[in-house]
Amino acid sequence: MSEVIVEAGKRHIREINEEIQAACAAGHKVIVRNTLSRHNLGVGLPEGANVHFEGSVGYYCGGLSKGATVTIERNAGWAVGEGMHHSHITVGGYAGMSVGAAMISGTIHVKGDSGPRCGVAMKGGNIIVEGRIGYQSGFMAHSGKIIALGGAGHSCADALWQGEVWVAGPVDSLGVDVKVVEPTAEEVAEVDAILEPLGLVDSSRNWRKMISGQRLWYFESRDASAWLMI
């Protein structure tokens, strides 16, 4: 696959993205340089797109992508991969708030820590964070897995639906309506199968698997005390 270099700099973001889209449509791998932590880079990338961002990016990088491969060398701002479908995004450093918000499927791999509400309202797919996930990660996750290898902040897995939060390491506190269960050997094998292509399997990990306690699935106003921590 031939490569095309796109210079971001201070150009209009629409112009940058149009150039990225055109190169992807022509079957090229795209290298984006001089990113300047710009917001909204690589939004709506199509099936088969392969885009590499040198440096750091701002908010919403890779959002609404479908079947794309995105690599970010350094850090990412809020909502990396929001609403994406069947894509694979790698963040080389830290990722800000709301990683993978409302994502439908695919994989987001964060090599550093992530900010608050990682995986908020995600509908499927997997988010792997090698470091620590921030406050209220997993909030209202409908499906999919959040896998944190370095611990979690306060209010972890708050108000889950059918998503799962797996944490190796310390957890500051649990959120509302969280149930911590002992994973089966088969479930651990499923997580290891997700981690194996990333070179992150470690059989010595002591996992905490967090699922919904289902109290809020059937919430009624007279049970308002269930929400006191929110």
* pLDDT value of position 222: 59
Query: Residue 35 above 70 pLDDT?
Result: yes
**pLDDT band at residue 230 under the 50/70/90 scheme:** very low
Structural contact between residues 207 and 166, judged by C-beta atoms closer than 8 angstroms? yes
212 Cβ contact list (under 8 Å, min separation 6): 159, 160, 161, 162, 177, 178, 179
Instruction: Give residue 217's pLDDT.
Output: 83
Task: Look at residue 62 in the predicted model and tell me its pLDDT.
Answer: 98
Q: How large a percentage of the chain has pLDDT more than 70?
A: 95
pLDDT at 220: 66
Mean pLDDT of 117-146: 98
User: Could you report the per-residue pLDDT of 22-31, keeping only the tens digit for each?
Assistant: 999 999 999 9
CA 156 to each of CA 34, 131, 168, 172, 182: distance values in angstroms, whole numbers, following the listed order:
36, 15, 13, 8, 17
pLDDT at 228 over 90: no
pLDDT per position as a tens digit, 61-118:
999 999 999 999 999 999 999 999 999 999 999 999 999 999 999 999 999 999 999 9
Task: Quickly state the pLDDT bin for 223 (edges 50, 70, 90).
Answer: low
Strand partners, 185: none
What does each C-alpha distance from 127 to 43, 97, 102, 218 come to in angstroms? 19, 13, 12, 27
Q: Determine the average pLDDT of the residues in 5-9.
A: 98
Closest by CA position to 57, among listed 114, 89, 95, 83 = 95
117 Rama class: left (phi>0) / alpha (psi -120 to 50) / beta: left
Q: What is the helix (H) or strand (E) element at residue 210, kind and residue range? A: strand 207-212
Give the residues across from 224 on adjacent strands: none
The phi and psi torsions of 52 (rounded to 5 degrees) equal -120, 120
Exposed/middle/buried for residue 96 (C-beta within 10 Å: 0-12, 13-18, 19+): buried
Confidence check: pLDDT of 227 > 90: no
Cβ neighbours for 175, distance < 8 A, ≥ 6 positions apart: 136, 138, 139, 155, 156, 157, 158, 159, 160, 229
